Structures are given as structure tokens and as C-alpha cells.
Amino acid sequence: MPGESGRLRTNLGGLPIHAREEKRILLYSLTFKFAIAGAAKTARKSIMESENGSEIAGEKGAGLSLRLDAEKKALLATVTPTEASAPIDEAWLLEQIQAQGFGDLRYLPQAATVLLGRYNAGDAVADFAVAQAVDAQFKLRMSGDAMEVALDITPAQGGAALTRHQVLQALAEKGVKKGLLPESLHEALEWAETTTEKTVAQSFVIARGQPPEAGKDSVFERLIPEIRDRRPKISARGLVDYREMGEIPAVRPGDALVLRHPPTAGVPGYTVTGVEVAARPGQEIAFADKLSGVERHVDNPDLLVAGITGQPVMVERGAQVEPLITLPAVNMASGNVEFEGSVFIKGDVAAGMTVKAGGDIEIGGMAENATLEAGGSILVKGGILGAADQEGGSPRVTRAAQNVQAAYAQKARIEAGENILIADMAMQCELLAGQHIKLGHGKKGHLIGGRAQAMLSVSARVLGSPNRIRTLCQIGVDPTLAKQAKELAAERSGHEDQLLEYSKLLSFAAKNPGRLRPEQVEKVRALIANLSVEITRLREEESELAARIALAREARVIAEEGLYEGVEVFCGHLRYVVTRDSGAAQVILADEALELAAL
């Protein structure tokens, strides 16, 4: 062979240049073929050794390549079969996709399964897509009343991210002109860029109209601080301010009492499409009719002034001045008193006497087995005493349209449209109040015997006595509240039905362009916006009423310090009997039954 090699070189040296090149190429080709044959022989030997129990010498992924095709926006796999390859699985493929920087693409699991099968079978594969570059997707949704626009984003998966310009252009095409929320839009775009949940869509409100601000109704401003108020003065929870009422205030003709402020027009709102939403103007509320003792100011019809000398009293939608008389006492010498205005009695009201007033009654002393009736409130700075023996006859009554307040009461019948407030003790009395009965000022406040009935609460420091005297307490719900709630719900339901019909009309217009004129569409949107405002108002009223009903259902009997055996509590047909003495406690309505609970 050395000789042959030498001859080959000699022969080559004697050939022309082009012949020598052809000969050299032929020689290199033969050498390459021999090398390939040798490699194949080595591979076959390796496989045979493997079949005899030796380790497989193949390499995972041999002959497999991945490339991103920018035009097709796809990750393409190519397989060139080779005997030196080893089987691969999905975990290995995902690892390679991630390692080569294609982890953001949308992986195609079904395509990957096909690729793995063909690779492991030794099949050739050309440009087979196993992942895709997907641009961000988005959709704008406008509410039926055109007051909000929501942006739904599905983040990009290896494709183009959503831009602010794209969103603004889409908003313009949708007719959005006002109410853009830049911070919300920025938050949405930032989320789409940074979230790891690429397959989950997220919604963001990026534009919001301005609801109209309803106008305020006429307001009545009180101009005399000490004017008496004929409206409730007790909190919903029964908290009482025991302030001394003092002398009854008086005014003279011409004194200013109440100034009426006109209603406001409100502030219009707008939809995201720029349509103005009219505000509901405030209601013009006139002074109440038949206000006695007052008149309009000659230069200002919104100013109410006193027309006579008397006691000013604040009422709904205005004030009135009640004639006022002051008496040293009411007894056989003065006779019974019946007066259109308010009555101030410095001393006592004797047994058997009657005092009736269209306004308030204030007694500096005590009232003994007397009849007191007031269109306003009654204050007795002493006590209210009934007859020593009321058997067989109708007892005298103390009755006020609003509140009754006294230092103490014994064997008295007291009725109040709102609250009864007793500072010390009520013994063997009939107490009836529209809202609360409250006993106790300082360390005092005992309710012993008799009956106390109130819609919201009966409260005392001590209920009953160690002698087990039967003491009845009755609480309950005002049935008119439920009726009002039902009426409000019916009105709101009607408006919601209208809103649904208008929304259907808008949907029809969107699906059938040109069937409705643009001005008709905008009119419908304005009607929807106004209905939405009205529905919101009704819901607020329903919530307030529901709170009052809930409060009434929370009616309770409260003993702040002691509750004695002999006390019975009623709520409608329910009854609870206290069978043992206890400290501070309360009787409440729970699960359609009355039960004793800790305070």
C-alpha cells in the first residue's frame, strides 16, 4: 500500500491542473463514504451491545431543531432521523422550548403529542408547529346606560402587547368621548404586561360617565335657637338627653322665625358618549298650610315672622306661634283650663282638674289625679299621680301627641305618640308610647307593676321587684312600615321593567345599524340614565325603610341593673315569663321567639 500511495502522488503530479482537482475531489468523496460506513458500523455494534444488556449510547433530541417563523408567528420543529437519538417526552420538550427562549409562546399540547410520537418512531418531520406567538386580545363593553366602559384583556403570548393607542382608537370608534380613567387604563396595560396568567382574561373599567347630582329640596332654616321643636328628640336606640326645658320661650310680632331657602337645580351628568343626563331638580316645598300666629315678611315671602305674642313652635315646613298663658296653679279657684296655645303652670295641678292645650303643657310642680291633654308635649317637673283606687272607673289620663316627661309616676295612665321619659320610678302605671319608654336618670329608674307598651323599647334600670309583683311589658312592630316597603318595591320594579325595555331597544339598534336615527338612540340612552338615577333613589329609600323595619324587629325590653321574677314580656302572640331573678339582662326577639339574653 505504501507503494500505491506513492504512485498516486506521482500520477497526480503528472496530470494537468484541472485533472488533478477532479482526482482529488474523487479521493475525498471516497474517504467520506468510508467514514460514514465506519460510523454506521460502529452504531450498529452499539445497538447490538444494547440489546445484549449494555447502556444505550443515544442522545435525547438528536436530529430535532426548533426555530421561530416570524411570518407564520409559529415555533416550528424539524426532525432529521438519526440512529444515535434517544426517546424524548413532553417534559423534555417543554424544557427545551423554555431554555431556547420560547417560553412566552402559546404551547400547543396536541401538536406536541404528534411530534413526540413521530420523533420517537424515527420519522422525519418538516416545519411542524408546536407553539404559536399570539397577540394580546381585547374587547370593549359599554353598559346599557352608557355610563361605563369595561376593557376585557387577554394578555399576549409571545406576540404583540396591547398598546394605549389601540385602546384609545377603539374607544373613539365606539363613540366614547368623556370619562376616560387614565389610571385604570394604565393599570390594565401594566397587568397585561406583567401577569403570569397569560390565558386568563381580566376586566377593567376604563371610562365612567358622571351621574347627575339631584337638586336639593327647599330647606327651612330655624332662626330662633331656643324655639321648641315638635319633632322627635330621642335616638333610634332609645338614648335620651335629660335637659331641663326651662321657661317657655316667647316671641313678639315681627320676630323672624323661619327662612325658606329655594330648591337647587342640581348638577347635570353625562354619559361616556358625551350625552348630557339631566339632573332631577329639587322640589319646591311651600310653607305648611294654616300656620297660626305667623305671617310672611312684607319684603321677603320666604321669611316667616311672628304675627302675635306667644310661644314659637317648630313644625314641619315652618313654624307657628301659639298663644301662651301662665298660671300660678290649676285648682278649684282657677277652674279647668282649655287653651288653644301652650300652658305654663308654675305650681301644681290639683286632683280632679283638667288641663287641655293645643300646644305644650309645662307644670312646675306635680299633677295629682288630673287630666292632661296636649297637642305637643307634656313636662311635669314633679310627679304624675293617679287615683289611689282605680277599680270600677276610668282613670284620669295624661296624653300628649309627642312626648311625656316626668320625675316619677304612680298609678297613672300615660300615653305618648312618641316617647315616655320617667326620671325616677313608675309604679303600677299604664304606660303607652309609640316609640320608646325610658326610665332612669342617674342611679334611679324603676318600673314596678302595671303595664308598659312601646313599639321599639321598654328600658329601665330595674324591672319588677323582689316581691315578684306582676309587671307587663309589651313591644311590637308598626305594620305601616311593611306596607310602605311594599309600595316602594313595586315602584322600583316598574322602573326596572322600563329600563329593561329601553336596554333591549339599544341592543336592537346596535345589531341593526340605521334602523333608529342617532338622535333616537341618544334619547333612549338619556332615558336609561334618568331611570338608573331614579332606581338608585328608590333603592336608597328602601334601604332606609328596611333599616327602620329591622330596628323595629330588634325591639327589646332592657333591665340595665336587675330583672325580677314576675316580669312578663309580650310581642304579638309571643310571651316570655321571667322565672328567676337576674342582673343586667334583656328580652329580645330571636328565631320567632322571645328569649332572655345578656346585656
Let me know whether 386 and 441 are in one domain: yes
pLDDT of 477 reads 59
Residues 6+ apart with CB under 8 A from 65: 77, 78, 80
Let me know whether 66 and 112 are in one domain: yes
Last residue of a domain, one of 33, 51, 69: 51
Residue 5 CA: distances (Å) to CA of 10, 18, 25, 26, 109: 9, 20, 16, 15, 58
- Alpha carbon distance 457, 558 (integer Å): 8
Is pLDDT of 409 > 90? yes
Kindly state whether residue 215 falls inside one of the protein's structural domains. no
Kindly state whether residue 216 falls inside one of the protein's structural domains. no
Let me know whether 513 and 372 are in one domain: no
**pLDDT tens-digit readout, 556-592:** 999 999 999 999 999 878 899 999 999 999 998 887 7
Highest mean pLDDT among 77-81, 321-325, 507-511: 77-81
Let me know whether 463 and 489 are in one domain: no
**pLDDT tens-digit readout, 219-270:** 999 988 765 554 444 444 444 443 333 456 778 899 999 999 999 999 999 9
Kindly state whether residue 217 falls inside one of the protein's structural domains. no
SS3 state of residue 318: strand
Is pLDDT of 1 > 70? no
Q: If you average pLDDT over every residue of the chain, what do you get?
A: 83
Last residue of a domain, one of 287, 322, 357: 322
Kindly state whether residue 155 falls inside one of the protein's structural domains. yes
Give the pLDDT mean for 512-517.
84
Of residues 352, 351, 341, the one with CA closest to residue 306: 341
- Alpha carbon distance 171, 180 (integer Å): 9
Kindly state whether residue 243 falls inside one of the protein's structural domains. yes
Highest mean pLDDT among 236-240, 325-329, 347-351, 509-513: 347-351
Let me know whether 455 and 590 are in one domain: yes
Let me know whether 38 and 187 are in one domain: no
Let me know whether 581 and 447 are in one domain: yes
310 — pLDDT class (breaks 50, 70, 90): confident
Let me know whether 561 and 471 are in one domain: yes
The residue ranking higher by pLDDT, 7 or 144, is 144
As for how many domains the chain has, the answer is: 6
Helices (H), 281-394: none
pLDDT of 26 reads 37
**pLDDT tens-digit readout, 170-210:** 999 999 999 999 999 999 999 988 888 877 788 999 999 99
- Alpha carbon distance 136, 155 (integer Å): 5
Q: Using an 8 Å Cβ cutoff, are 214 and 242 in contact?
A: no
- Alpha carbon distance 400, 377 (integer Å): 5
Last residue of a domain, one of 15, 34, 51: 51
Kindly state whether residue 405 falls inside one of the protein's structural domains. yes
Let me know whether 280 and 366 are in one domain: no
**pLDDT tens-digit readout, 360-369:** 999 999 999 9
Kindly state whether residue 214 falls inside one of the protein's structural domains. no
Let me know whether 68 and 89 are in one domain: yes
Cell numbers for 31, please give them.
Answer: 474517504
Residue recorded with cell 468523496: 29
pLDDT of 4 reads 37
Let me know whether 344 and 379 are in one domain: yes
Kindly state whether residue 213 falls inside one of the protein's structural domains. no
Q: Using an 8 Å Cβ cutoff, are 146 and 275 in contact?
A: yes
Let me know whether 73 and 40 are in one domain: no
Instruction: Supply the range of the domain harboring residue 14.
Output: 2-51
